[in-house]
Amino acid sequence: MMRTSSTLLYTGLLKRVAIFAVCLFVFCEWFIYYLVIFQCSWPEINIDENNRQSEPLKAMLLTDTHLLGSKDGHWFDKLRREWQMERAFQTALSHFNPDVVFLLGDLFDEGMKCSDEEWDFYIQRFRRMFRHSEHTELHVVVGNHDIGFHPDASRDKHLFRRFSSVFDSPSVELLSIRGNLFVLVNSIALQGDECSMCSEAMTQLMSVADKLNCHRERTKKEIYEDLAKKQKTSCDLPKDSPAPILIQHFPLYRRTEVNCAGADAPPAEEKNSVNREKWEVVSKKMSNKLLQLIRPRLVLSGHTHHGCYLVHDDGTPEMTIPSFSWRNRNNPSFVLSIITPDKFAISKCFIPRETTVIAVYIIAGAVFVLMNLRPTYVYLRSRRTCRQIKYESCCIR
């Protein structure tokens, strides 16, 4: 009877452990993403129905995914954080169903130093993690971890070429999506020197600026001195085209992060650090040139891994989007935006905190152990009593 009771106890305990472990795993690795992300929603925007020419564009933006390579990071780190990003992205994609997704650079952590063979493996993982339907457009800009900072990228031209060929991403690109204009820029090429990548980027930037400013009065001669001298008889864009949205990896120039606020702002010890031009931010000279040439209505950037919203001296707002990976911050996020030719609205959506998921595992495990202590104690006590009774019975005989 004692052996049967012991077997039943262990079998029941194993069943409870298995059921509890499966339920806890499903909650922490699937359900919690829906629970948190479903609390977010598209921003509200007032649209004049009489002047509506097309449906508002729904855009989702994220940055700094930093898929790990073979050299840096532990295999469990890679598994854990890439699973987190895949689940967060797929949950958000299925729930919000955006028209377009923008990734603002640093897709890969070791893109600047991996071989072509590992690069192919990188691309396979990226396409699996960030898979999407054919109804959703995906556009990316290059980051410094994808091809290296300017010294590495300019020295090894192959790095940017293989990135650009895979993602169809030139140094400067003008996109028109549902009546809205976007200018995507390679921040690493904005050095102002004579490297081939930088020269090509400046040529493309001037071409895009010429299209954008074709209908505008050119009052600042020094800004357009490199543009075609002959006035075009026809323009590539309609006269009523909206101001574009500038998307790039590096933020435009700002001396420090002091003005950044919010739950994902830089920590206090980093706010007063002076940003290095061409490393943390685009140079001041090139930032002014971008603002004057492109005249964007909004700038979106990444790179710092922290969130920041500010307004530049000319009135142009810029939002720096935090990293999407647990490896870079405890509370990653992405951005949802409703865009029309004359308006835009932005909301930030957080995904589950890594500390929250770890805490759920620890607390749930502790509660489970405590719940099973009493049954185990009662069983062990009854077993000891039975042995004592059996021993006394043998002594009487």
Q: What is the pLDDT of residue 244?
A: 95
pLDDT in tens, 193-218: 778 899 999 999 999 999 998 866 54
> What is the share, in percent, of the chain residues with pLDDT greater than 70?
84
Q: What is the pLDDT confidence band of residue 384, given thresholds at 50, 70 and 90?
A: low
Q: What is the pLDDT of residue 194?
A: 76
Q: Tell the burial category of 162 from Cβ atoms under 10 Å away from its Cβ (0-12, 13-18, 19+).
A: middle
Helix axes 196-212, 157-167, angle to 10 degrees: 40
Query: What's the whole-model pTM score?
Result: 0.87
CB 303 within 8 A of CB 105: yes
Mean pLDDT of 59-80: 90
Calpha distance 104→59 (Å, rounded): 13
CA 123 to chain CA centroid, nearest Å: 17
Cβ-contact 305, 322 below 8 angstroms: yes
Predicted local confidence at residue 138, as pLDDT: 97
pLDDT at position 385: 60
Pairing of strands 172-177, 333-339: unpaired
Residue 363 confidence (pLDDT)? 93
